[in-house]
Homo-oligomer: A and B are copies of this chain.
């Protein structure tokens, strides 16, 4: 298993690449380059994790308070269409977005106590899914696997939970 580390700082090189890739996409589609879209994508790519529209908007407004959420929604759709970003839904009723990690595809473990989302990738798991699809005469385009449960490290889990509560209080 590969467990994907989310705590490393954001790689500026990579961000620049993604910004360029998005610019190319905009070009290709005959769309226009705008101040707002640039602000939104450069904010987004510098954030970590699985980001909700709300969370993104808060950050975006720090750079330009006049940007509204319609534009954020619209830009996120473009990011998804460009293939640079994936939409996730972990069952709390809101869409979350993530730029691709180092590993192209990955699945998730979600702690129901502290909210920690761990990412993992396992080739045996992927292969097994393929073979099950094969048996059923089915061709897989994409899949989603989410493991819901709790951290076994209760101390760390509780600490994250506290931290989260404090943040919610302050906000």
Contact = CB atoms under 8 A, between A and B. Distances in A.
A111 B138 contact: yes
Copy total for this chain: 2
A66 interface: no
A109 B133 contact: yes
Contacts of A102: none
A109 B132 CA distance: 10
Interface stretch (A18-26, A70-78, A116-124): A116-124
A138 B149 contact: yes
Interface in A85-111: 89, 91, 109, 111
A147 B132 CA distance: 10
Contacts of A129: 125, 145, 147
Nearest to A121: B132
A166 interface: no
Contacts of A140: 109, 147-149
A142 to B, nearest CB: 5
Given A124-B128, A137-B152, 12 more contacts: A1-B132, A109-B136, A109-B140, A111-B138, A118-B138, A125-B128, A129-B145, A138-B147, A139-B151, A141-B149, A144-B145, A144-B146
